Amino acid sequence: MTAPFLSAHDVTVQFGGLTAVDSVSVAVARGELVGVIGPNGAGKSTLFNALAGTVALAGGSVRIEGTDVSDWRPERRARAGVARTFQRLEVFGSMTVRENLLYATEAAALAERPWRLLARRRYQDDALVDEVLTLVGLAGDADRPVAELPTGQARIVEFARAVCARPAVVLLDEPSSGLDAAETAALTAAARDAAQRWGFGILLVEHDLSMVFDLCTWLHVLDFGCLIASGPTREVAELDRVRDAYLGAVDAG
Amino acid sequence: MSWLPFVVSGLVAGSIYGIAAMGLVVTYRTTGLFNFAHGAVGMAVAYGFYVLRDEAGVPTALALLLCLAGLAPLIGVAIDRLFARAVDGASQATKVVVTMALLITLQGLAVAVFGATPKQLAPILPTGTFRLASVAVGWDQVIVIALGITILVALTIFFRRSRTGTVMRAMVDDRDLARAAGFSATRIGVLTWSLGVATAGLAGILFSPLLGLDSVILTLLVVQAYAAAIFGRLTSLPRTFAGALALGLAGSLILRALGDHPTLLNGLRPSIPFAFLFVILVLARRTTLRELGVSAPWAGSVRASATSGRWLLLLLPLVFVLSPARVFSLGFALVIACALLSITVLTGTSGLVSLTQAGLAGVGAFAYIHLTAAGVPFWLALPAAGLSVVPLGIAIAVPALRLSGLFLALATFAVGQLIDGLLFSSWTWFSGAGDGLRGGRPSLLESDRLYVAFILIVLVALVALVGAMRRTGLGRSLIALRDSPQAATSLGIRALWPRVAVFSVSAFVAGIAGGLYAGLLQAASGAFFNTFTSLLWLVITVVGGVEHPYGAVLAALLFYFAPDLVSSGGPASPWLTPAFGVTALLLASRPGGLVGWISARLPSRLVAFAPGPDEDALATVGS
């Protein structure tokens, strides 16, 4: 097995007196497709935010290729190779699809040195954008402003934008929310193909099990902030305690 | 002389600020709309009181009742129906512009109807005094302080104990909650705004006999209320009232302390609330100042345009055919167009609102005057005037870096007033033509016609600069940070450098405009570049279209040149300002402005300033 690129080691996150994530360890390597599932309120999103750098840790560490990055701000982790999408769609609405992706190819370079902000197109990568557009099936809509697109396509734009940042790992935060079954399937296929083509890893945090079972080869199950199971997707899905935690929550919801 | 009388009068002023500030907090907390026009509505109610009592002879008590229980709710309903609900869920920048437009409209109307001269009002409260520890205290002073405390207690109990109050507190985060609890959102909105207008009106009425009824003073007096409200974190009424008392005391005690140094006093005293406001905003922890209400990122519905500006050269023949007086007024409008471009750069690209642009232009004007007076050649002095303002722009950008939307607007408003009070009003370096200094022109451009032609060429160059900026990584980063700060961060972008850069470019453009102004008028006065001008400029730029450079040009021509064509040289109609204010209210939520409206109605091949692969069309998206 390859060494993990991004990993959480005994990560604990607290809000006031409440422990949202309790000593959880997960890891994702380049090319690996890892899923994190769990019922509502299990701490999935909090774990996700801890990895992305938007919440502070109460214990443990987040590492990139072994280096402790717990106190790095989100933009620094992004430049180090961690891309992400958002549970509530975040796109550059006034730009076209192509402009969204082109900007993703140059953003890290622009942020590296302030004077690079003066560059016209020097750090953009048209070839990569064209290839990503074709692979995710957006080539026909490349010049439409993103604000015009339906949610399903906008989600794919968001994912494609993460890909254009040339990441080592992409974090997907409940990407299927707001999508119907066909749109979810399209996004799943795009994610699988892109990960295979460019060799990045994916850490998928999802409530919807079909996407996780479709995409991920390795699964972690969270319940009440604790990891209750980890392993290959097929094996974990058969475990009774996972079914209990999950189906119980589905009944309640 | 004893300090005690100053303490009493400070508490009196503080109580009046407190009454206004608590109303501001109540409306913000319930609706999420920070009302920059809070002072202006108070001023409107105070004028209503003046008309009823001093002109129509209605008895004081009845006039008070009519104003606070009749006129105030009426204005409250109007605000709720016409603006507040229209901008619910819009971007904070839109909300700032709408209440600014309301401020400009009301202040402009007051001047148009009642004239610019302040009115004197007879006292409202009893004038008798009693002695307290050897100090003569007026009964009116006691009444005002008691009134402030009573309102504090009443509002606090209302919000803590009553069902309506509880719903009002929760409503800002969830509109459906009111409906779920069986309250109509309309009723709550009307109640909130009536309460807000009534407190502003009461403060305005209480102040008028002390200061005279003056539309500008009463409109800007509200800054004490802003500062107190921010001190109360825009949520806590007791903290707000305490902040207001502290401000009142500070203003009064400095009068006692510096009474022997009138120049220092006159500069410092009006600046206290602004300095207070700026310091609280910059020092506040991120978590204590939370923007309330539902806000979208700035529009994002209209594409920022990167035009080269060459079509503006079509105006060139005008420079040589118009009468001399009109050429001059065209030149003035073109100078203002340059200044408004500094707003296009900042607000149109990044969605950040700055209320200090006139102050920056003024600093550029004085830099230019002093440079040319010192013998620096024109060709160097003009760019140097632009560059000289850049450090000031950066000085605003860096401390304000953490602030956005509403709080950035408030901080820049404070800085604008500080420039006004500390530089223009009290430093002789900025007193312009008084000591014989005048802005020079190069011998080649000595005539008005040639100088105005030169201004036009500079304007085209600045438009091209704005366009070029938008085609760089900087322009794209600003738009990305505007459309979705979170997504931009997730790609590795840090807001610091793009923000510093855009504030620098904006300041540079404003400074150039100031230099051109000084060259055209061969003089400058701090009075022209006051904060009110900054507010007006923002509002008329929105009317023209804040995203497209031609919006700035159109706005300047409509406001500063077109009236001259109609009235042929006389003073501009006082109705002009309120007319622009109303138009801005109608257009505020559409950043396309008039330019966007016009281009959407032209056949595409006639849209001279739209097409071309490099010059983005003003394609209106979605909305």
Calculate how close chain A gets to B511, using CA atoms only, in Å: 21
Taking the alpha carbons of A127, A128, A131, A136 in that order, is the dihedral positive or negative? Answer: negative
Of A74, A90, A104, the CB nearest to B484: A90
Give the percent of chain B with pLDDT over 90.
21
Confirm if A85 and A191 have CB atoms less than 8 A apart. Answer: no
Give the percent of chain A with pLDDT over 90.
52
- Domains of chain B, earliest start first: 4-263 (1.10.3470), 310-606 (1.10.3470)
Which DSSP category does B602 fall into? S
Provide the chain B residues 489-528 that lie in CB contact (below 8 A) with chain A. Answer: 489-494, 497-498, 501
Beta carbons of A93 and B479 less than 8 Å apart: no
Beta carbons of A104 and B474 less than 8 Å apart: no
Calculate how close chain A gets to B509, using CA atoms only, in Å: 17
Reported ipTM: 0.92
Beta carbons of B476 and A148 less than 8 Å apart: no
Search chain A and give the residue with CA nearest B481.
A92
Confirm if A68 and A61 have CB atoms less than 8 A apart. Answer: yes
For residue B96, the model assigns a pLDDT of 83
Choose from B298, B402, B476 for mutation: most chain A CBs within 10 A: B476
Confirm if B93 and B353 have CB atoms less than 8 A apart. Answer: yes
Beta carbons of B477 and A117 less than 8 Å apart: yes
Choose from B472, B491, B620 for mutation: most chain A CBs within 10 A: B491
Q: Does B483 touch chain A (CB under 8 A)?
A: yes
Of B300, B304, B489, the CB nearest to A147: B300
Over chain A, what is the mean pLDDT?
Answer: 88
Q: For B72, what's the count of Cα atoms within 13 Å in the CB-facing half-sphere?
A: 29
For residue A94, the model assigns a pLDDT of 85
For residue A76, the model assigns a pLDDT of 93
Confirm if B515 and B372 have CB atoms less than 8 A apart. Answer: no
Search chain A and give the residue with CA nearest B492.
A75
Boundaries of every domain in chain A = 6-252
Using CA atoms, how far apart are residues B575 and B555, in angstroms rounded to an integer?
16
Calculate how close chain A gets to B503, using CA atoms only, in Å: 14
Beta carbons of B474 and A118 less than 8 Å apart: yes
Q: Does B443 touch chain A (CB under 8 A)?
A: no
Residue-wise pLDDT tens digits, A148-173: 888 888 999 999 999 999 999 999 99
Of B487, B501, B619, the CB nearest to A117: B501
Of A92, A107, A123, the CB nearest to B479: A92
Search chain B and give the residue with CA nearest A80.
B492
- Burial label for A199, CB within 10 Å (0-12, 13-18, 19+), is exposed
For residue B488, the model assigns a pLDDT of 93
Class of domain A6-252: alpha beta
In A92-239, alpha helices (H): 97-112, 126-136, 151-164, 181-198, 209-215, 233-238
Residue A211: pLDDT above 50? yes
Q: How many CB pairs under 8 A join A and B?
A: 112
Please tell me the pTM assigned to this model.
Answer: 0.87
Residue-wise pLDDT tens digits, A28-67: 999 999 999 888 778 888 999 999 999 999 999 999 998 9
Ranges of chain B whose pLDDT falls below 50: 298-302, 433, 605-623
Search chain B and give the residue with CA nearest A122.
B473
Q: Does B93 touch chain A (CB under 8 A)?
A: no
In chain B, which residues have their Cβ closer than 8 Å to the Cβ of A52? 490
Of B301, B473, B483, the CB nearest to A119: B473
Average pLDDT of the residues in A19-27? 91
Of A93, A117, A158, the CB nearest to B472: A117
For residue B337, the model assigns a pLDDT of 95
For residue B187, the model assigns a pLDDT of 79
* Whole-Å CA distances, B346 to B301, B333, B586: 17, 20, 22
Choose from B489, B500, B505, B620 for mutation: most chain A CBs within 10 A: B489
Beta carbons of B473 and A99 less than 8 Å apart: no
Search chain B and give the residue with CA nearest A165.
B491
* Whole-Å CA distances, B272 to B248, B277, B423, B535: 10, 8, 14, 20
Tokens of B461: 């160059």
For residue B604, the model assigns a pLDDT of 54
Residue-wise pLDDT tens digits, B126-165: 777 777 777 777 888 888 899 999 999 998 888 888 877 7
